[in-house]
Structure 1
Amino acid sequence: MQNQQGQTHQNMHTGNIPQQMNHGGHEVLDVSEVLSGAIGTMDQYTMLRQHVKDQELLGILDRQYQFMQQEYNTTVDCFKTGQDPAVPTQSYKMTQNNDFVYGLQPSQPKKPVQSVGELTDECVSGMMLGAIKSSASMKTMAAMETTNPVVRRVLADSIPNCIEMAYEISLYQNKHHYYQVPQFAAGDMQQMVNAYAPANGQQMQMPNNNMTH
């Protein structure tokens, strides 16, 4: 049976593969984990929402939740059918600027809270960031084991969205001094930045195995 790319897929034991069954075993397990993880992240956002105090963080949470919900539906769609989803993968656009503030300032040591009443915007944003980073890892691993070309593309295209959402949260945290970013001393940084040179662009030469007698 041919898919929309014109490729024929067969199982050596059962013959032609219906489009909705065009998935490898490893892929099925990995995508199932991705989808379960997506549900877990959205459920976590739902539970955390009531503890958010800052309206800016609330806006980020709600906007990311809506985006994740559509992306989840797109992944479910192509996973069930093996074909292009009705709604293609979108690109997440964050609202934060790209200005990180570098340097450390004194702060209280972090420790686990003892009750939900102690949850702060710092705690909430930290859990959001952790969930998104975990999702990026799962999608990356799954995409590399996915045999269905459509599902692979949907997973691969969704990874930059995880990166963008994580970056947005980290920028929010940095602005509120929850996520402090140290830097190397200027001399050390200069040495590290200049530690690499461009490749020369020449074609790799193959060894000559022809021996002259």
Structure 2
Amino acid sequence: MQSNTSPQFNHGGHELFDVHEVLSTTVGALNKFTMLRPKVQDQELLDILDRQYQFMQQEYNTTVDCFRSGQDPAVPTQTYMMKQDNQFTYGLKPSQPKKPIQSEAEINDEIISGFMLGAVKSIASIKTIAAMETTNPVVRRVLADSIPNCIEMGYEISIYQNKKGYYQVPQLMVTDMQQILQSYAPAAEPVAAH
């Protein structure tokens, strides 16, 4: 078997298919954000959608750049910074059961934020898989560095959903929480070899 060491062709077969999936999934997310944007009612959600769209688009371009060249991208991976605080409201309140919508007219901010969260979760998952299969060191680093951005975007959306009552966070009783929190202890220091 002949090995081509040019950076442009410094990719394994699994990597090519997995990065193809990353890029396809990202294109799908960007398309979904574009289609949903005109239906957003809440200005805060629109701000999140626009900021995340712009960030995902730049990250997509960075990935395409290093994937095609095999070298450092012109624009390195950036860090996504959400505007939300990290305050969650805990507990469950009575609400209507969820069910599939019957028409496009029913699409609202709750559904849109759910689509957004699903999209960034999908990207995070596929990027993690791709980073584990990538042989090109630059592409692997770009993918690995971008995963925390997906996590941050998902966290931002879930905080928004929680604040609006779309996503409720149950908690265990304090005694049960304490029991679980105290069920692990630090590992002992290894004994030094003499």
Q: TM-score higher than 0.5 here? A: yes
In structure 1, how many angstroms separate the alpha carbons of the residues matched to 2:189 and 2:139?
A: 35
Q: Find out whether 1:161 has 2:170 as its counterpart.
A: no
Length-normalised TM-score, structure 2:
0.97
Q: Which has the higher helix share?
A: 2
- 8 Å contact 2:4–2:10 — kept in the other structure? no
CA offsets per residue over residues 6-61 of structure 1, 9 Å max, x none?
A: xxxxxxx2244211000000000000000000000000000111111000000000
Q: 1:79 aligns with which of 63, 67, 81?
A: 67
Match of 1:65 in 2: 53
Length-normalised TM-score, structure 1:
0.89
DSSP 3-state at the match of 1:140: helix
Q: Find out whether 1:98 has 2:113 as its counterpart.
A: no
Q: How many residues align?
A: 193
Q: Name the structure, 1 or 2, with higher relative contact order (CA <8 Å, separation 6+).
A: 2
Higher alpha-carbon Rg: 1
Match of 1:145 in 2: 133
- 1:204 Cα deviation from its structure 2 partner: 9.0
In structure 2, how many angstroms separate the alpha carbons of the residues matched to 1:14 and 1:186?
A: 62
In structure 2, give the amino acid aligned to 1:115: S
Residue correspondence of structure 1 range 99-138 to structure 2 within 5 A? 99-138=87-126
Match of 1:41 in 2: 29
In structure 2, how many angstroms separate the alpha carbons of the residues matched to 1:203 and 1:149?
A: 36
**Structure 1: tracts of 5 or more residues without a match:** 1-12, 206-213
**Structure 2: tracts of 5 or more residues without a match:** none
- Identity of matched residues, %: 68
When the two chains are superposed, the root-mean-square deviation of aligned CA atoms in Å is 1.1
CA offsets per residue over residues 77-121 of structure 1, 9 Å max, x none?
A: 000000000000000000000100000111000001111110110
Divergent runs of 4+, >4 A: none
